[in-house]
């Protein structure tokens, strides 16, 4: 039964945009870039739950050599209710205290920058908490959907305005475990908008 469901997840993908090999190569390149940029900054790497977990795990392992004092945290950020359209309101949650942020060089890790509202809310939140610097690394950016001016400082891939899943990205809490980024077949989400 589990094997049948896993097979059906792959069958739900209309097109593979980014293969595991393509993703691994770019994440490795970005990790080396971050190692240089954060070499002496004791970075606080903060992943947004749940979508960025897969990307963040691979990214922090690619940051070589590891900057002294690098630490990991997570924050919840949501602008989606049920369906596929952003609510326009960003809710942040987590246990990260302002004292843990103050004076730190924060690297936010996102799965995708879509409208940009969540990214802006996250950056503003960490700046207000007294971070020494705040930058974002995003697996994907979808500029066609941007409703506010924001561009992540570190980006793996820019994608067209298609409904993407896999490598941490989900639809209705499914597809996160796919090892690639693919386009979900439209008939599977039509009516959820």
Peptide bond into 104 cis (omega under 30): no
Residues 23-39 have a mean pLDDT of 98
Q: Tell me how far apart the alpha carbons of residues 98 and 128 are, in angstroms, rounded to a whole number.
A: 9
pLDDT surpasses 50 at 2: no
pLDDT digits (tens, 9 = 90+) for 125-159: 999 999 999 999 999 999 998 999 899 999 999 99
Q: Is 170 a catalytic residue?
A: no
On the question of a cis peptide bond just before residue 111, with omega within 30 degrees of 0, the verdict is: no
Q: Read off the pLDDT of each residue in 18-41 and give the average, rounded to a whole number.
A: 98
Tally of CA atoms within 13 A in the half-sphere of 41 that contains its CB: 19
Instruction: Give the pairing type, strands 154-158 and 181-184.
Output: unpaired
What is the rounded CA–CA span in Å between residue 121 and residue 88?
Answer: 11
pLDDT in tens, 79-119: 655 455 555 677 777 767 788 899 999 999 999 999 999 99
Out of 3.40.50.150, 3.10.150.10, 3.40.50.2020, 2.60.40.420, the CATH code matching 31-167 is 3.40.50.2020
* Mean of pLDDT over the chain: 90
**What's the predicted TM-score (pTM) here?**
0.89
Domain boundaries, the chain: 31-167
How far from 129 is each of 17, 76, 100, 103, 120, CA to CA, in Å? 37, 16, 9, 9, 14
Percent of the chain with pLDDT over 70: 88
Catalytic residue among 111, 114, 124, 170: 114
């Amino acid at each position: 039964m589990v094997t049948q469901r896993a097979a059906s997840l792959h069958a739900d993908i209309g097109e593979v945009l980014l293969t595991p090999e393509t993703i691994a190569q770019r994440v490795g390149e970005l990790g080396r870039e971050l190692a240089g940029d954060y070499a002496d900054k004791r970075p606080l790497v903060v992943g947004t739950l749940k979508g960025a977990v897969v990307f963040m795990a691979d990214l922090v392992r690619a940051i070589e050599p590891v900057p002294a004092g690098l630490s990991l945290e997570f924050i919840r950020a949501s602008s989606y209710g049920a369906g596929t359209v952003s609510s326009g309101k960003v809710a942040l949650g987590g246990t990260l205290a302002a004292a843990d942020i103050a004076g730190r060089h924060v690297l936010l890790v996102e799965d995708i920058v879509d409208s940009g509202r969540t990214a802006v809310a996250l950056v503003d939140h960490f700046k207000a908490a007294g971070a020494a610097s705040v930058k974002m690394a995003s697996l994907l950016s979808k500029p066609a959907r941007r409703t506010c001016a924001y561009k992540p400082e570190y980006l793996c891939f820019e994608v067209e305005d298609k409904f993407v899943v896999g490598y941490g990205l989900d639809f209705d809490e499914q597809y996160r475990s796919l090892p690639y980024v693919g386009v979900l077949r439209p008939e599977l989400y039509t009516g959820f908008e």
